[in-house]
Amino acid sequence: MEPQRSPLLEVKGNIESKRPLVKAPSRLPLPGSRLKRGPDQMEDALEPKKKRTRGLGTATKFVMSHPRAPALTTVPQTQGQISAPKVPKKTGPRCSTAVATVLKNQKSGPAVPAQKPGTAAPPKLGGKKPSKRPAWDLKGQLCDLNAELKCCREKTQTLDQENQQLRSQLREAQQQATALGIERRTLEGELARVQAQAEQSQQELGNLSTHVLELEERLGTQEGLVQELQKEQLGFQEERRRLATLLEEQERTLQASEAALSGSQAEVASLRREAAAQAALLAERGERLHGLEMERRRLHNQLQELKGNIRVFCRVRPVLPGEPTPPPGFLLFPSGPGGPSDPPTHLSLFRSDERRGTLSGAPAPPTRHDFSFDRIFPPGSGQDEVFEEIAMLVQSALDGYPVCIFAYGQTGSGKTFTMEGGPGADPQEEGLIPRALRHLFSVAQELSGQGWTYSFVASYVEIYNETVRDLLATGTRKAQGGECEIRRAGPGSEELTVTNARYVPVSCEKEVEALLYLARQNRAVARTAQNERSSRSHSVFQLQISGEHAGRGLQCGAPLNLVDLAGSERLDPGLALGPGERERLRETQAINSSLSTLGLVIMALSNKESHVPYRNSKLTYLLQNSLGGSAKMLMFVNISPLEENISESLNSLRFASKVNQCVIGTAQPNRK
């Protein structure tokens, strides 16, 4: 008989073992149930899942106050009595392994038994260790050991109950394992027998399959060969039929082609004869058209010569808003020989002089001044009517004749409006310069159908105080203000050019409008007594026209000059007020000097003098190639309708009358 162990030693033995018991619901099959599964599947069924094992509780270690007792690990008790898994008895190696697996995986933390009422609370788990009792406090140490002993007894009782439950589950599991082992051995025998039969059947089936495959392969080869031969035969038959059809079609096509060829040859011969006739006719008509064009140019030039190579038009501007209305009968436009339908060519101006009187003391009757020009435009004449009269003259520049058109008159008489147009974008107010270039571009486009090609190069300069300035200068060239000089284009050349001036190729109206806008910004203007913004310089717009007929080797070239002269008023009425009086005096002297030189040049050309004073003025020197015998010249004399400007109007009309009396020889075109 074993000696009885003290409770304290049992507690210490349980603590040192450090193997907490696991309580979990049994996952083994119920006794008496027949499970048709193998031994491996039975082991998997016996092995519990770790997730469920971990959910049963966590181990809690008690910290003991007794120095000789280690920490106690207890198992918590769940609601009611928890049945431990039943492990069957050991019946073999595989069954013992399954039981060991169940016991190994059924791990859960120890549980603390519920505290009974009236008992002292056990020491707190995982909390702060109680203070160590002194060695002399044996009574306190004994109390602590009694408390621990009581807890250990309760724990031992709980563990015994759980052990009994686990033993019961183990016995049941062993019984099930024994039954499953017997069933497994029976099934293994049947499986071995079936596998032997299956192997024999599989071998026979393999032999038969091999033989069948050989036969099928031979059959497929023979069938493929037969099909290939049949397809080849069908292809040959189809190819024979196609070739026969193609041969028939080719024969028919050949016959049709031979017939068409004979017809085409006859048609080609006919077309060649017709083309030769058309070419001859075209050449004949081209020659005739060229002859007609030359005849048109000759007749056009003859018509212009009959009108006069120097012509003078007079234009009277309308009364502007804010100006006094002239008295009735101040300006008269008598009808021509054909009546009112004829364009007016005569102008009568009446001037009253209060200083003159009769013997009876009555005022003297107004003096009548009559003038006759090639054409007179009353105040109601529009820009289109004015250009229609000079359009034929502009056409002469395209035919190779130098053309020069002047706008002459006092300040504020409408010279700039006549040449450039109004400041707005109204098409009805466009001046002669934009209208002339639009006409030239249009006619050049029409002549391109006859083999003529034209190019246009524009320049715009002003002559201010006998100094030439470029009105098209921009950017750094404008800031530098380089001096412009009139020079020969080359050694032995009669063509004149302006150094440091821009020569811009133009081909459309938009480019011309941009040049006019730029020139308007750069032109020298000043305030005078007769106009708030007066042009104090001569502006010269030059368009060099070059034409070529490559088919006939013809070339022609001529300049078109459109000149807006400075105000022609005498010194006193045009004198500016203020500190710039001396500068205005110098400007007026230079303007009057250049205008006088222009009159002298025209008179010298009319009288066919040996010396023509071109170099007396920069204006006449620049325009000398457009003033000679091969040139055509037109002067617009612009006058004001106001009575207060009658003196200047008479001076302008008298100067224009002298020019109108001049006759220049027959013009010759510049052709090569």
Binding site per annotation, positions: 409-416
H helices then E strands: how many in the chain?
Answer: 13, 18
- Residues 6 or more apart in contact with residue 648 via CB below 8 angstroms: 410, 568, 569, 570, 573, 639, 640
Q: Round to whole Å and give the CA distance between 296 and 290.
A: 10
Q: Round to whole Å and give the CA distance between 454 and 447.
A: 9
The closest of 87, 255, 261, 290 to 171, measured between CA atoms, is: 87
**Residue type for position 624:** Q
- Do residues 506 and 512 touch, judged by C-beta distance below 8 A? yes
Annotated binding site for ATP: 409-416
The closest of 490, 487, 516, 509 to 499, measured between CA atoms, is: 487
Cα torsion 324, 329, 331, 335 to 10°: value is: 150
Q: Round to whole Å and give the CA distance between 472 and 469.
A: 9
The closest of 374, 418, 396, 421 to 303, measured between CA atoms, is: 396
- Do residues 162 and 103 touch, judged by C-beta distance below 8 A? no
CB atoms under 10 Å from CB of 459, counted, come to: 20
- Do residues 618 and 612 touch, judged by C-beta distance below 8 A? no
Q: What b/e readout covers 352-375, taking b as 16+ CB neighbours within 10 angstroms?
A: eeeeeeeeeeeeeeeeeeebebbb
**Three-class SS string for 126-168?**
CCCCCCCCCCCCHHHHHHHHHHHHHHHHHHHHHHHHHHHHHHH
